[in-house]
Structure 1
Amino acid sequence: MRPDLSYRSQAGFGLVAAIFVMLIVAGAIAAMMQLATTQHGTVVLALQQARAYQAAKAGVEWGIGAVETTGCSNFSAQKKEFPNLSGFNVEISCTNETILVPEEESGSVTIYEITSTAEYGASGSPDYAYRRLTAVIESE
């Protein structure tokens, strides 16, 4: 006579299922951590880029003030540091060109081009930020 195997209980299947579920949950947690780290890095870089824009804008505004008082002759390429934007290297340059315009009272117009470049960190580093802004001013 053969033994009846239909009533024999299964053993070990619960352990395999538990390990499978643990691996799936661990993979999901690892993926979420990677996404959170990437998102944090993106936010930090966006903030640095916004600060670089503000530093370049401050350089342009400083250059406009200098052009209004003394013209371009006072500076060719100035390096400035602004106290609220520490760590940024801001370089400001100015070029000018006089154009003859018979329709104007003075007979000529001077065009000033102010370029401000703001840079943070070394090129290639993860926190590197760079912005360049240019303003054109017309003066009679």
Structure 2
Amino acid sequence: MRPDSRQAGFGLVAAMFVIIIIAAVIAVMARLAVTQNATNSMAIQQARAYQAARAGLEYGIARILADATCADFTLDGFAVLMSCTSSSTPVLEEEGKTSATLFYTIEATATFATPASPDYAYRKLTAVVEKP
């Protein structure tokens, strides 16, 4: 008995198919790993930007309550831009005298890198402080 010539080379075709499928799976997994690493890095930068903006708010509140000034600063590579605006609201007291209460709106904007950079992170927080 002679082997059927139509079945010759089937093992080679099956092996090539398996090798191509495994190579494709490895390529997809490598791409997913790169994407996940970039996503994790961006999440860390965004968390750091949030903390820098929050530190800016706390600094701004302390400065407003102390001497009513507001200044920009840098914190570990983050540029924290401060904006402080005041508004006055009359308050009616029990004895018929009126007094004004000052309200300060404080905005802290923390940025890292430039907007076109892959490391760009941005957070903006706002707080309102009452100063009697």
> TM-score, normalised to structure 1's length?
0.85
The alpha-carbon deviation at position 100 of structure 1 amounts to 0.9
Contact 2:53 2:109 in 1 (8 A): yes
User: Is 1:98 matched with 2:88?
Assistant: yes
| Deviation for aligned residue 1:90 | 0.6
Query: 2:37 and 2:84 mapped to 1: Cα distance?
Result: 38
Task: Give unpaired runs (5+ residues) of structure 1.
Answer: 1-5
- Report sequence identity in percent: 48
Q: Residue 114 of structure 1 corresponds to which residue in structure 2?
A: 106
Q: Which of the pair has more CA radius of gyration?
A: 1
Please show how residues 40-59 of structure 1 align to structure 2 within 5 Å: 40-59=37-56
**In the alignment, which residue of structure 2 is the partner of 1:24?**
21
Residue deviations 1:68-99 (CA, integer Å, cap 9, x gap): 1012xx33xx22022xxx21111111110111
> Normalized against structure 2, the TM-score is what?
0.90
* Root mean square deviation of aligned Cα: 1.6
Alignment partner of 1:124 is 2:116: yes
- Misfit runs of 4+, over 2 Å: 103-106
Question: Alignment partner of 1:107: what SS?
Answer: strand
Distance (whole Å) between structure 2 residues aligned to residue 66 and residue 106 of structure 1: 27
- Displacement of 1:139 in angstroms is 1.9
User: Take 1:87 and 1:108, find their aligned partners in 2: how far apart are those partners?
Assistant: 40
Match of 1:66 in 2: 63
Matched, 1:135 2:127: yes
Counterpart of 1:38 (choices 35, 40, 60) is 35
**Matched residue of 2:93: which SS?**
coil
